[in-house]
Amino acid sequence: MKVVEINDVHKTYHDTEVEVKAVSGVTLSFLKGDFVVIVGPSGSGKTTLLNLIGGLDQPTQGEILVAGHHLSELKPSQLIDFRMRHVGFVFQSYNLIPVLTAAENIGFIMNLQKWPREKRQARTDELLGSVGLSDRRNSRPSQLSGGQQQRIAVARALAARPEFILADEPTANLDSKSAESLLDIMEKLNREEEMTFIFSTHDVRVMKRARRVITLEDGKVVSDVKKE
């Protein structure tokens, strides 16, 4: 089942008199359960493409379809609701809310969606266990290591059962041990929950784990390889 369809998408930025084509004629689709990385040199359009898929930015031309939604047809308020209900985000800077505990950060989106308290707590407990941090539920981000913060960020992204997870350089700020541990958790969640993960990365460790590698250069797809 396709969770994302991208049809001839372009994104052009105008910087004073300079026109920058960040994404140029990209056509791709992603299936439920994919574990895929988007790679390429700096400036190749990786992060821009993730932002377009997640509705954080709008294409200059072309169409993106997610969960039956044509993103270009959504108003700003509808895009906010779309992101909250259909997309999980994991960033390299973690982006946890510093005044909230680990459990409260995980439950944040569910709270916005008005999940019943018992259901929200049960899902939070389940995810804390999945990322191996049940004993840190009451810790605030400042009391957690970088690897622990990123695991909480992954749990938060998964909490409301989105259509897919967009992970932009999620291992960039982690040491090797923490990065491998995080990838183990993501692979496990991918298998057990059939959650779709779409990564943007320079990290060879992430590339090795991927079952599909898409390479961008100058905003264009130059290869799309599925591993056996």
The HSE-up count of residue 223 (CA atoms within 13 Å, CB side) is 9
Domain of residue 30, CATH code: 3.40.50.300
222 confidence band (pLDDT: 50, 70, 90): very high
Per-residue pLDDT of 63-78, as tens digits, reads 999 988 899 999 999 9
Structural domain containing residue 216: 2-226
Non-local CB neighbours of 90 within 8 Å, separated by 6+ positions: 150, 153, 154, 157, 165, 166, 167, 168, 170
Q: How many residues does the chain have?
A: 228
Q: Output the pLDDT for position 68.
A: 81
Q: Is pLDDT above 90 for 193? A: no
DSSP the chain: -EEEEEEEEEEEEEETTEEEEEEEEEEEEEETT-EEEEE-STTSSHHHHHHHHTTSS--SEEEEEETTEEGGG--HHHHHHHHHHHEEEEETT----TTS-HHHHHHHHHHHTT--HHHHHHHHHHHHHHTT-GGGTT--GGGS-HHHHHHHHHHHHHTT--SEEEEESTTTTS-HHHHHHHHHHHHHHHHHH--EEEEE---HHHHHH-SEEEEEETTEEEEEEE--
Per-residue pLDDT of 101-132, as tens digits, reads 999 999 999 999 999 999 999 999 999 998 99
Gap between the Cα atoms of 107 and 70, Å rounded: 28
pTM of the model: 0.91
Q: Is pLDDT above 90 for 18? A: no
Q: Is pLDDT above 90 for 15? A: no
Q: How many domains does the chain have?
A: 1
